[in-house]
Amino acid sequence: MKRRLYQGTDFRRAQNIDELRAVARRRVPNFCFEYVEGGSDDEVTLRRNRSVFEEIGFVPRTLVDVSARGQTVDLFGKPSAAPFLIGPTGFSGLLAKEGDLALARAAAAAGIPFVLSNASTLRLEEVAERAGGRVWMQLYLYRTRAFAAKLVERAKAAGLEALVVTTDSAIFGNREWDRRNYARPLKLNLRNTLDVALHPRWILDVLVPDGVPRFANLGDLLPPGRDSVRGAASAIAKELDPSLSWTDIRWLRDMWPGKLIVKGVMTAEDAALAAECGADGIVLSNHGGRQLDGAVSTMEVLPEVVSEVGGRLTVMLDGGFRRGSDIVKARALGADAVLLGRATTYGLAAGGEAGVAHAIDILKTEVDRVVGLLGCADLSQLDASFLRWPGHPMPPARNTGPGRGILSPVAGLATNSNQKREAQI
């Protein structure tokens, strides 16, 4: 019998993120799925974000007691129940009813942070109040700086923990496959219009009774009547600011008393500049392969960035994470946490809040299994000695000593399992 992945529509039967992706593809119209799925130009970076994980091999230890395992990590002085969080994904309200809230609630239930997209279809105050948990907010520094300042004040009043300022979209990426769904800007072509009609469950969930969702946090930025998901795209593109610089990060730092995270860093030099500007953390990101095509993956720059700013900044990254093993590899190279974009968005598109929860559970289960099979009782014991990456210099192991922080050959007891993970590799 030929092997094949699950072909049905019940998200609960998906055993991994790829199967959840297939369920999502069947549930939502093509133009929605393409917005989530596509990259820029020839999608070289999009593919590279995934292929890099196949280059990195594990080197497991054996005869280690892993009967009790843990994956809780420390993020800005607070525990997070897993080494990943949900990153900002725009247009979530087009995938499921109140999609932003569904993502936030699933994250809160799982004990991990959630980053609300700047382009959400629910007000940030509503998400903070109804979701609970740790809510962070993505911010674009548009040309209209007064709007950004007002959004910062709203986030402050709502008690949000962190701002995640996205810096890699000063110029909009060339997403050709997304544009091919439209006969002209904002007008679906005939093929996609007919395809929408073939998705009655999506229509009832998303469009009934209020029609196309509207951006809830961009009202002061957009022209009157242009705040719908369909009508705002061109107006937002005009607000992107090519003059964005580190001066703007310092300006934002002066206004914002909470944690400030710079997203879009891809070099050790820029990571150091973020630290100099007062950032608390960074997110290594190539925008999921949706901006500069041909860019390297975040995993390729992670070791040098951690070597430069580890211990000074919280170092996170995104880009292509689909398996718990991918997340474990990033942790072993020094990352504090991973931001998930498409992985949890597939869950949202496949089954709303319950689908997101299923995606999180899949990844938490995989992380737990991989850590145990590596011969680790806790993520704090991971370092680069558990990896082989041909052609790439590996950083030195953080844990040293007779048992390399894993097993004491004298006492036969695991060591360092409760010791805080060293930030610098």
Instruction: Judge whether 315 and 281 are in contact, CB under 8 Å.
Output: yes
Looking at 199, 287, 358, 392, which residue is catalytic? Answer: 287
408 within 8 A of 381, measured Cβ to Cβ: no
Residue 133, C-beta contacts closer than 8 angstroms, at least 6 positions apart: 104, 105, 107, 108, 109, 111, 112, 113, 114
Contacts of 280 (CB under 8 A, 6+ apart): 76, 162, 259, 260, 261, 313, 314
Alpha-carbon 269 to chain mean position = 23
**Dihedral sign (CA 369, 375, 377, 378):** negative
How many helical (H) and strand (E) elements, i.e. helices and strands, does the chain have? 15, 14
Structure tokens at 58: 């594990």
Are 305 and 284 contacting, i.e. CB atoms less than 8 angstroms apart? yes
Residue type, 384: A
Q: How far apart are the first and last CA of the chain?
A: 47
Site of tokens 């309200």: 93
Query: CA 23, CA 12: separation in Å to the nearest integer?
Result: 10
Look-up of token digits 């992380």: 367
User: Phi first, then psi: what are they for 364, rounded to 5°?
Assistant: -65, -40
Q: Is 392 marked active-site?
A: no
| Residue closest to 395 by CA, chosen among 336, 338, 337, 332 | 332
Burial (CB < 10 A; 0-12, 13-18, 19+), residue 289, is: buried
Which residues are catalytically annotated?
287
